[in-house]
A and B are shown apart, each in its own frame.
Chain A
């Protein structure tokens, strides 16, 4: 235990640098995944079409082992940051895509119809009605993705380095104490990201919107909200 505290004390600078790099790698992956998955999910949800596409793309991406992705891209791009980002983007896309699709697709049809009846254009329906009502679930997906990415980014060290993985994968240099210390930092980061996005999620929820109970309570880090949401949607479909 005292070894652990000593490691933190002796290597504050190192841990700080690696943490910043870790966040940088994670942030890039999140931005790319958002740019790919959000518009697609929202568009398909708005059109109420392509559930097969949205759900199946997610399932295929979800099935891809991160290490295998990193290894394959290693053969093609050599040691570079690109490998890691590809694997992390593949990890972040499913929850974002599924939740964006489920959220927009599930907006109360009466509300959308009322908006159309009031003479709103498609664009206004989307930005004025569907998106605001969808934000809570969309952000739940982003939050799940962010936690996944932060917790998986240590694999980055296999393919060119960067982030806390440099310490976690280098037990010969830093010892088990170093591995545990860096792991603690990753876990704390994951929880911090989770709480941060939970707050954002709460802030973007329109006042008066009745939220399902499982979304209001702070969902524990790493919870597959998308799965829960998908089950809920599937169950709703049966009824």
Chain B
């Protein structure tokens, strides 16, 4: 009698699938996406990752923007600086992200610094080209008119060229942000930060819901950021839309 009682649970225990503390049927069977588990774990497991992801992206975009902006201003005034900077930036751009992060590790260690160096490098080409294109496409007549009105070079840059370049600059920011959100998921390969962490973690453990949920959050974050920048663009350059509407 006692022997049977002991044997029964043993016979029942099949493969051990982690149920993360809650075991509804979906999670026990490792369903593709268990909504209940996702909701239960959102605050503890996913929300901090979303925050990290936004932080990683924001740092990279801000630093990348300042570097690219300075480089574009220099290249705008002195054409010979364009090619060297564009070539270095495009070399960075062709390095596969998953390799870039690994290569940074022996140099700057496992951590945020390595991630940011790689992410910033990827933003440079897009931002630099868009800022420079925006500045260059300001019509010559407009600049001449400004010169005729007695504006200095500095005033022309600040009051004429930069405002007219805003749509192109915002377009660059948009692509750079979306690209950085995408690449930041790969960063988790070296450091468990951002939404890539649950993705890599769950790919190894095979917990479907965890990586499907993290992936969907990453996609949602990218689409949301994309929309946010489009709205911001309309806000900071209302004249662009007004003109398009009138033409």
Cα A14 to Cα B222 with chains together (Å): 37
- Of B33, B94, B175, B212, the residue contacting A190 (CB under 8 A) is B94
Q: A179-B103, A221-B90 are in contact. Are A231 and B171 (CB under 8 A)?
A: yes
Q: Tell me the count of chain B residues lying within 8 A, CB to CB, of chain A.
A: 58
- Of B178, B185, B214, the residue contacting A63 (CB under 8 A) is B178
Cα A64 to Cα B218 with chains together (Å): 8
Q: Which residues of A contact B86 (CB under 8 A)?
A: 220, 223
Q: CB-nearest residue of chain A relative to B168?
A: A231
Q: Is the CB of B130 within 8 A of A74?
A: no
Q: Which residues of A contact B64 (CB under 8 A)?
A: none
Q: Which residues of B contact A67 (CB under 8 A)?
A: 182, 185-186, 196, 199, 215, 218
Q: Is the CB of B185 within 8 A of A220?
A: no
B221 to chain A: closest CB distance in Å? Answer: 8
Interface residues of B in 193-239 (CB under 8 A from A): 195-196, 199, 202-203, 208, 211-212, 214-216, 218-219, 222-223, 225-226
Q: CB-nearest residue of chain B relative to A194?
A: B94
- Of A71, A169, A223, A232, the residue contacting B214 (CB under 8 A) is A71
B49 interfacial by beta-carbon distance below 8 Å: no
Q: Which residues of B contact A69 (CB under 8 A)?
A: 215, 219
Segment from A103-111, A181-189, A201-209 that makes contact with B: A181-189
Q: A71-B211, A231-B168 are in contact. Are A65 and B222 (CB under 8 A)?
A: yes
Q: Is the CB of A228 within 8 A of B133?
A: yes
Top 6 A-B residue pairs of the complex, sorted by shortest distance between their CB atoms: A220-B90, A222-B93, A68-B215, A65-B182, A183-B99, A190-B94
A210 interfacial by beta-carbon distance below 8 Å: no
Q: A151-B95, A152-B96 are in contact. Are A62 and B175 (CB under 8 A)?
A: yes
B181 to chain A: closest CB distance in Å? Answer: 6
Q: A171-B102, A183-B103 are in contact. Are A227 and B171 (CB under 8 A)?
A: yes
Q: CB-nearest residue of chain A relative to B90?
A: A220
Cα A153 to Cα B94 with chains together (Å): 11
- Of A59, A76, A168, A191, the residue contacting B32 (CB under 8 A) is A76
Q: Is the CB of A182 within 8 A of B211?
A: no
Cα A207 to Cα B100 with chains together (Å): 41
- Return the CB mask of A151-193 against B: 1 if under 8 Å, else 0: 1111100100000010011010000100110110011001100
A199 interfacial by beta-carbon distance below 8 Å: no
Q: Is the CB of A168 within 8 A of B129?
A: no
A81 interfacial by beta-carbon distance below 8 Å: no
Q: Is the CB of B102 within 8 A of A168?
A: yes
